[in-house]
Amino acid sequence: MVAAILLIFLHDAAALVSIWWTSSTFGHCLLIPPILGWLVWLRRQAMVTITPRSWTAALAILAAGAFGWLLGEAAGVALARHLGLVMMLQGAVMTLLGPAVSRVLMFPLGYMIFMIPFGEPLVPPLQTLTAQMCMAMLGWIGIPARIDGVFITTSAGYFEVAEACSGVNFLIAMLAFAVLVANVCFKSWTRRISFVLFAVATSILANGVRAWGTIAISHATSLDFAAGFDHIVYGWIFFGLVLAIVMAAAWPFFDRAADDPFLHRFPSVETPPPPSWPYAVALAALAIVAAPMLWANVVTAAGRTDLPYPVELPELAGWQRAPISTRHPWMPRFDGADHRLFGRYRNAAGDAVDLGIFVYGWQAEGRELVGYGQGAIDPASDWAWTSPAPSIAGGQGARITAPGPVVREVMTFYRAGDVLTGSPARVKLATLKVRLTGGDQRAVAIMVSAEEMPGHDAHAAIGRFIAALGPLDKLADGIAARATAR
């Protein structure tokens, strides 16, 4: 059954392994499968006393995982698909081996959750928290500094607490490690929870110390030396030292002896009644896991639309096309878009506004309106999120900064189905609805941005430009329609 699930969802299983192998944030996930094998081995003495049996009630877990995968596929949320896949694997084990075996394997089955790459939404708040900790510690040692979002300026230079410096990789790996240690080394639930909280807090604090140390070293030496020191000494070597500190601090509080059994032996119970058809449960499980894949390939595909015709940016009264800014290149990132329109406009008052329109005939993995790395900030660029900006016409506002510094405000709008919104969550729900029902999957992203310049209010300029654009839902629908047919 497990092999059948992995074969049916081979694409997602392969994507998981690829993320483990290529992402520094989730490299620790490569260790989870062998750890699971070790955890099962520790429970072998209890398992040999149990007679396995099928468990029809566990089909509900299998069905929940299958439905979760379908929702993730329809909404274009990889995390939901991966969670659904893991839940199906958990449900398959419980369905085929029964409640007694499942009780013995409760922790290993739950620990499978750490095979899922998660934590990316934590990056922005962790960047902000790390920057704030840096400022506090710089003040303690008397180094004057100024902060703007995730950018810190000192006499030694201009520093960015980038995504790689957020510490999310340390935090997720530490959480997986702490949960494992809590189960293996502690029996008391109070001590288990306290250890996990201590380990997580230590990881966050250590990352702040790491970022602060880089800035402090740059003051004592040079920027180049500090950067080299950061790459050589920090990283996973630094994380290993933090692990050692956490374990040394917790060691006196371990309350499970090395020879303590993990579980008491279970008697041989729950001999299954003779089934009318021996393979009925297995066939029902296969039908459950195959159903979402069939739906995704039949119903969802019905709403896809080709966009073969070229489209152009709109002409606006009172605004003229102008050359793109050369202060620092900025281009939103929307991988897989069928049409990418981008240009600058200028009015008689000298306000300069950039407009980006990105059109999709349908969405799928690798061509999503909303996803990691999509939107105003290309992770490969020098731009970074600084702070939110007030909304205009329901859009999602943000201030972003590039070295210089060059600061601009960006207002983002999404159009999917009959929804116009600046909320990524709402557009995901709208996408989910049209894909589940086989509706029209055409979708559009509209981004309006202006640089902060002396004598020109970027926010006000964006507001005037959006007013000139008119109803944004009609603008998005009109461009999508022109790209569809003449």
How many other CB atoms are found less than 10 A from the CB of residue 454? 4
Please give the Cα distance from 5 to 98 (Å, whole number): 18
- Report the pLDDT value the prediction gives residue 334, as an integer from 0 to 100: 94
Residue 271 within any structural domain of the chain? no
Looking at the fold, whether 206 and 237 belong to one and the same domain comes out as: yes
Are residues 137 and 242 located together in one domain of the fold? yes
> Does one domain contain both 419 and 389?
yes
Instruction: Indicate the residue among 269, 298, 327 that finishes a domain.
Output: 298
Which segments in the chain show pLDDT lower than 70? 220-236, 261-278, 302, 486
Establish if 433 belongs to a structural domain.
yes
pLDDT at 232 (0 to 100): 52
Do residue 351 and residue 477 come from a single domain?
yes
Asked if residue 313 and residue 462 are part of one domain, the reply reads yes
53 with 198, same domain? no
Domain that holds residue 334: 306-484
**Any domain includes 169:** yes
Instruction: Please give the tally of structural domains in the chain.
Output: 3
User: Is residue 188 domain-shared with residue 145, that is, in the same domain?
Assistant: yes
Distance CA 300, CA 425 (A): 20
Who's near 64: CB < 8 A, 6+ residues apart?
87, 91
Same domain, 286 and 209: no
Tell me, what's the pLDDT at 331?
Answer: 94
For position 50, what pLDDT does the model report?
82
Q: What is each CA distance from 294 to 59, 74, 297, 300, 477, in whole angstroms?
A: 19, 13, 5, 10, 30
* CB-CB contact of 410 with 427 (8 Å): no
Angle between helices 236-250 and 168-185 (to 10 degrees): 30
187 found inside a domain: yes
Q: What is the reported pLDDT for 262?
A: 64
Give the end of a domain, one of 266, 298, 330.
Answer: 298
Is the same domain home to 344 and 449? yes
Give the pLDDT confidence score for residue 62 in this predicted structure: 94
pLDDT score for 217:
80
